[in-house]
Amino acid sequence: MSVYSRLTENCKNFQRHSLDKAEMDKIRSLSGDYEKLHDYLAKKYLVWEKEYTSLYWGEKQAPRFYENGTLCPLENILGKHLTTTKKNKAAIIWKGADHAQMVYTYQSLYSEIIKCASALKKLGLKKGDKVLLHLPNIPELIISMLACVKLGAVHIVYHTSYSTDSLADRINDCRPKVIITADGTVTANQNLKSKLDNALIISDHQPQYCIVVERVSKRVHMKPLRDIWFHDLISDEHYSIAKNHGQEYARAEDPMFMLYTSTNMKDPKALVFHTAGYLLWAYFSYLLMFDARDTDTFWCTADIAWITGHSYLVYGPLMAGETVLVFEDTIDMDNAHRFYDICDKFCVNKLYTRPSILKSLMNASQKKKKYMKLDTLELIATGGEKMTDDVREWTAKALGNYNAALFDIYSITETGGAIASAIPGYEECRPGTVAKPLPGVSVKIINSASGEILPEPGTQGALVLDKPMPSLCRTINNSYDTYKKIYWKSYNNNVFFKTGDSAEINSEGYLTLKGRLDDVLHLGGKRLSLIEIEEAIKTHDNVEDCAVVSIPDEKRGDALIAFCVLKKEIDESYHDTTVRELRERIIEEIGEIALPSEIRFTRTLPKSPDGVILRDLLKDIAMQM
């Protein structure tokens, strides 16, 4: 049997433990009626304090769900488990980059969240206030997120790798009342507190409090009356009286969190996600894609700062009562042994990761002989990037022993979770596709110029949502007009939400992504895919990553500039040789028409939280060089 056939069958034959056949039949029977399905899901998968009076209202470009409904978010995430056998089950297993380890049961995690929420409440934090979380992947980040949810405060997780200036810009934009950071990071040896102090010197807005988690025991400056150590705050009985802490309820459309994402606009853009719709989709889509079993150890390798980390490392699996593995570092070729050690020690049986991490594991196995046979993995999902055939085949054999369900997930930050994926146990996966849209998601392929829906199967066009998902971001912080301009498009009587991706759907409903709509250009009378050029360049043994952009050129109209990240530094005298080899590779793979005018070497490429190359920024850099 071929690898393709095995993967197809493994996904379909996966043994499920949640969403039994009767439940799936019920969901599928309602799939033709959008409102009935989402009404059923909301009543089935969320615990309501006061049931909503109508499912959907508002204009199409400003959707609102579950009118007049109220619920306790923390009850839906954790509280419901405390009266079940999951009470003393491990909720989070945390592994530090320095080999530190902590385990939180559902009961102990809840207790820590209540202590943190009590302390923040004593500091004056209230519903609607904003809290910026500038922390690495440590338990205190999850505790702080859920403490904010408990109080109705809006949390904003911002990745620690961004610069001081960008941090200052975000502080000015979201204007947090409280900022929670750490003294430093183990992984990049950063002094996060110093970075925050420098950002606050630049920023016009000043938070009332800065709370500092001690992670690396660095000596840091603590400003009197403003700066507080996290451990002091939650251990001080004056602040953290955890007993008899009442439940806080939220309206269905109350903002829950914001997440910064990259657009083609210059200023910071924070997407705003609302409570009930987001929680429903994080939970339901998790159950669809990953199943849920009491003996699971689930590992999502995404950073918590990205939407994948929010939905499938924190909210979704915790709502499902899973044991979640959280690793402080990222997996690469150099520390591949950590991946095997963690999977082996904690019997990880379900994995959600990126193809680039799997490629690093493959290279570590083939080039550095770093490999350990694993017998536990029964489900491997990937997302964020296209998986090459060689990586897929290696993963199926080396990690899944040809028995694991291996499939791709399609999601974007703006939808708050997955749009399309195979459903293990019920559907075949088709390698190269992202399977079918999940139940409750309605997509169309349209002509991006005319807005005409393209009904013919296999026709490539712009991928859009023709009905909003409950988890869809509701606006951009401080700029609803910008939100409408970027994401919504009206054609005649139709209104669509733009994903920004090009795709096609075959006659069976399987969705194949064709790249970003801005990754294709006309050059020399021919239509060229920037991704195709990049893939050709990346076939060179010494190229780790690359990005190609076009800039105005007096002679040709447009000129291509390639930025390449090398796997290892080379002597400057070899630069010309490497450039010549890359040019020959492009000619061989695509043709002379695709040759960049310049090939430049750089240490890193600017990317969005979703891993999308920021081409507009690269264009600006190329035009200034």
| Average pLDDT of the chain to the nearest whole number | 90
Q: Is residue 447 part of a domain?
A: yes
Instruction: Tell me the pLDDT tens digit for each residue of 322-353.
Output: 999 999 998 988 899 999 999 999 999 999 99
Instruction: Tell me the pLDDT tens digit for each residue of 225-271.
Output: 999 999 999 987 766 665 556 788 999 999 999 999 865 555 778 99
Task: Give the residue, 60 or 148, on which the prediction is more confident.
Answer: 148
Question: Where does a domain end: 493, 518, 543?
Answer: 518
Phi, psi values for residue 121, rounded to 5°: -65, -40
Q: Which pTM value belongs to this model?
A: 0.84
Domain match, 118 and 217 both: yes
Alpha carbon separation from 128 to 94, 149, 153, 177 (Å, rounded): 30, 10, 5, 10
- Helix or strand run (H / E) with residue 438: none
* Rounded Cα gap, residues 324 and 264, in angstroms: 35
Domain match, 472 and 497 both: yes
CATH number of domain containing 567:
3.30.300.30
Helix axis angle, 275-290 relative to 34-45, nearest 10°? 90
Does the pLDDT of residue 81 top 80, yes or no?
yes
Task: Give the residue, 490 or 573, on which the prediction is more confident.
Answer: 490
pLDDT at 624 (0 to 100)? 80
Within 10 angstroms of residue 505's Cβ, the number of other Cβ atoms is 25
Domain match, 548 and 493 both: no
Question: Where does a domain end: 491, 518, 545?
Answer: 518
pLDDT at 572 (0 to 100)? 63
Q: Which domain holds residue 139?
A: 112-248+260-271
Domain match, 561 and 514 both: no
pLDDT at 319 (0 to 100)? 98
In the structure, what pLDDT confidence band is assigned to residue 520 with cuts at 50, 70 and 90?
Answer: low
In the structure, what pLDDT confidence band is assigned to residue 587 with cuts at 50, 70 and 90?
Answer: confident
For the chain, the domain total comes to 3
Residue range 442-457: mean pLDDT, rounded = 90
| Beta-bridge partners for 464 | 444, 498
pLDDT at 558 (0 to 100)? 65
Does the pLDDT of residue 287 top 60, yes or no?
yes
Q: Is residue 312 part of a domain?
A: no
Contact status, residue 411 vs residue 308, Cβ threshold 8 Å:
yes
Domain match, 557 and 619 both: yes
* Rounded Cα gap, residues 258 and 345, in angstroms: 35
Helix axis angle, 164-174 relative to 192-202, nearest 10°? 60
pLDDT at 122 (0 to 100)? 92
Residue range 71-91: mean pLDDT, rounded = 97
Domain match, 265 and 153 both: yes
Residue range 580-593: mean pLDDT, rounded = 79
**Share above pLDDT 70 across residues of the chain, in percent, rounded to a whole number:** 93
Does the pLDDT of residue 589 top 80, yes or no?
no
Residue 436 DSSP SS3? coil
Does the pLDDT of residue 570 top 70, yes or no?
no
Q: Is residue 205 part of a domain?
A: yes
Domain match, 609 and 499 both: no
Task: Give the residue, 70 or 550, on which the prediction is more confident.
Answer: 70
The candidate with the shortest Cα–Cα distance to 196, out of 123, 269, 134, is 134
Helix axis angle, 575-589 relative to 530-537, nearest 10°? 130
Amino acid at position 281, single letter: W
Does the pLDDT of residue 92 top 80, yes or no?
yes
Question: Tokens for 504?
Answer: 């096609």
Domain match, 266 and 135 both: yes
Domain match, 501 and 457 both: yes
Residue 339 DSSP SS3? helix
Contact status, residue 215 vs residue 185, Cβ threshold 8 Å:
yes
pLDDT at 554 (0 to 100)? 46
Q: Is residue 381 part of a domain?
A: no
Instruction: Using the CB atoms, write b or e for 211-236: b if 16+ within 10 Å.
Output: bbbebbebebeeeeeebbbbeebbee
Task: Give the residue, 614 or 315, on which the prediction is more confident.
Answer: 315
Question: Tokens for 108?
Answer: 């102990």
The candidate with the shortest Cα–Cα distance to 544, out of 409, 363, 339, is 363
Residue 289 DSSP SS3? helix
pLDDT at 41 (0 to 100)? 97
In the structure, what pLDDT confidence band is assigned to residue 1 with cuts at 50, 70 and 90?
Answer: low
Question: Tokens for 527?
Answer: 């239509």
Domain match, 125 and 242 both: yes
Residue range 529-533: mean pLDDT, rounded = 76
Question: Where does a domain end: 484, 518, 552?
Answer: 518
Q: Is residue 218 part of a domain?
A: yes
Non-local CB neighbours of 198 within 8 Å, separated by 6+ positions: 164
Contact status, residue 555 vs residue 592, Cβ threshold 8 Å:
no
Range in 190-194, 404-408, 607-611 with the lowest mean pLDDT: 607-611
Does the pLDDT of residue 591 top 80, yes or no?
no
Range in 490-499, 598-607, 614-623 with the lowest mean pLDDT: 614-623
Does the pLDDT of residue 525 top 50, yes or no?
no
Instruction: Tell me the pLDDT tens digit for each residue of 125-163.
Output: 999 999 999 999 999 999 999 999 999 999 999 988 777
Domain match, 264 and 216 both: yes
Within 10 angstroms of residue 7's Cβ, the number of other Cβ atoms is 25
pLDDT at 239 (0 to 100)? 64
Q: Is residue 217 part of a domain?
A: yes
* Rounded Cα gap, residues 330 and 342, in angstroms: 12
pLDDT at 428 (0 to 100)? 86
Q: Is residue 353 part of a domain?
A: no
Task: Give the residue, 407 or 541, on which the prediction is more confident.
Answer: 407
Q: Is residue 509 part of a domain?
A: yes
CATH number of domain containing 226:
3.40.50.980
Does the pLDDT of residue 557 top 60, yes or no?
no
* Rounded Cα gap, residues 297 and 315, in angstroms: 15
Non-local CB neighbours of 548 within 8 Å, separated by 6+ positions: 530, 533, 534, 537, 560, 561, 562, 563, 596
Domain match, 472 and 573 both: no
Residue range 162-171: mean pLDDT, rounded = 86
The candidate with the shortest Cα–Cα distance to 565, out of 512, 607, 513, is 607
Burial of 573 (0-12, 13-18, 19+ CB in 10 A): exposed
In degrees to the nearest 10, what's the CA dihedral of 592, 596, 602, 606? -110
